[in-house]
Each structure stands twice: as C-alpha cells, then as structure tokens.
Amino acid sequence: MDTISGFELDILKELGNIGAGHAATSLSQMIGRIIELTVPKVNIVSISKIHTALQNQLNGSDIVAGVFVSLNDLENEEVGYIYILFPKNSSKALTSLLLGNNEESEEMLKSALIELGNILSSSFCNATAELLDTMLIPTPPGFAVDYVLALIESILPKIAEKSDNIILFEAQLKDESNSVSIMIMFIPDEKIMKCIRKLRDMVE
C-alpha cells in the first residue's frame, strides 16, 4: 500500500471527527444526558510499530477491554476494521458515564461498551458514506477483556494481510464530571483508501 499523504490524513481526520460527532449525538440521545466525544489526536501508525505507539498510552501488560467491528461493503466483503480500546482502570468512570450510576456491574458495563462500539462504528460508517460516497455496513461487535498486546495480536494476522497502516484516534469521552481516554483504531483496506484518493483527485 502507498504511504498516506497529508491530504489523505486530513480526510481520515475528518472522518474521525464527523464519526465522533455523530456518535456523541446518538449516545447523548440514548442516555438522555450530554456526552461529548472529542478526537484531539490522530496518528498514522504502521502495523509493525503499533506496540510502540500504544505503549505511549498503555503498558503492554495492561488489561484493557476491546470492542472489535469489521466493516463490510455491499458485497459483504470486509473492507476495514474498527477497534476500540478502553483502559481497564477507567471502568468506574465509564460506568458512571454510560450507565449513570456507581454500581459496578461487569455484565452491564460490557453490554454498554458493546453498544458504544455499535454506535461508534455505525457513526463512522455514516461519516464515510457522506464523505466518500460509499456504503459500509458494520458487523456485530466482538468483545474481549485481556492484555492489550494479546487483544491487538489476535486481530493482527488478518489486518497484516490487508493493510500496512492503522489510523489511531486518541479520543476523549466526557460528561460534566467524568473524562475517559479511549483509543479508536481504524484500519482501512485498499478499497477505502481508493475512495479517499478519488476524492483527492476530484479536489485537485
């Protein structure tokens, strides 16, 4: 795959921002309170460097919760993946953010995080549809809690076949009293990158 140019990075950032905006709106509607989701930082990381990139944020042996969604096109082919990591030590803040109470129930939190994965991936798909004029359908999310490296590695073989780059969004999920940093990884394959390049060609 070609390296990602400045323009492409801009589009990807924009995708992240639009997606996050949509997601925050849907989330606020669902919960009935205002939730903000901002994406202050976007990085492009090559797959072989993903460990180092994550280690700025997390320790390799940290336990995290991960939600994994694959994005399919109309022919039901996988064209990209979204992967969201929640640091385990944020489970209290996430509970109060998403469930509005302080009773920590692992089962409820898990289901809330999966729903968040659903919302985020659908919002991302909508943003892609708007911006790139292509239709993407998210699959039902997979969920696991484990070492951060183990989670990454379990999807790495598949990703490595299709793409060299991971777009890493460092996002903040917050309401008036809590703030949680989450990592959203977007892994587009060649098909999505092609759409982005098409857009670039139209602009230039």
14: its two tokens: 């924009």
CA-only gyration radius of the chain, Å: 16
Q: Is residue 148 involved in binding another protein (CB under 8 A)? A: yes
* Chosen residue from 149, 167, 171, 187 binding another protein by CB under 8 A: 149
Q: Is residue 150 involved in binding another protein (CB under 8 A)? A: yes
Kindly indicate which of the ranges 21-29, 35-43, 154-162, 187-195 contains the residues binding another protein, using the contact rule CB under 8 A: 154-162
Q: What distance lies between CA 61 and its chain's CA centroid?
A: 21
Q: Are 43 and 168 in contact (CB under 8 A)?
A: yes
- Report the helix count and the strand count for the chain, using DSSP H and E: 6, 7
Least Å from the CB of residue 179 to another protein: 26
Residues 65-124 that bind another protein (CB under 8 A): 68, 70
Q: Is residue 53 involved in binding another protein (CB under 8 A)? A: no
Q: Report the SS3 class of residue 90.
A: helix
Q: Phi-psi bin for 164: left (phi > 0), alpha (psi -120 to 50), beta?
A: alpha
Instruction: Please identify, using beta-carbon distances, which residue of 15 and 151 lies nearer to another protein.
Output: 151
Instruction: Please identify, using beta-carbon distances, which residue of 68 and 124 lies nearer to another protein.
Output: 68
